[in-house]
Amino acid sequence: DGGITQSPKYLFRKEGQNVTLSCEQNLNHDAMYWYRQDPGQGLRLIYYSQIVNDFQKGDIAEGYSVSREKKESFPLTVTSAQKNPTAFYLCASSAAGTGSRGEQYFGPGTRLTVT
Is residue 2 close enough to count as binding other proteins by CB under 8 A?
A: no
Site for other proteins in 21-50 (CB under 8 A): 33, 35, 37, 41-45, 48, 50
Minimum CB–partner distance for residue 16 and other proteins (Å):
26
Minimum CB–partner distance for residue 80 and other proteins (Å):
25
Residue (of 61, 92, 65) closest to 77 by Cα position: 65
Is residue 5 close enough to count as binding other proteins by CB under 8 A?
A: no
CA distances from 103 to 30, 41, 73 (A): 12, 22, 18
| Position 3, amino acid | G
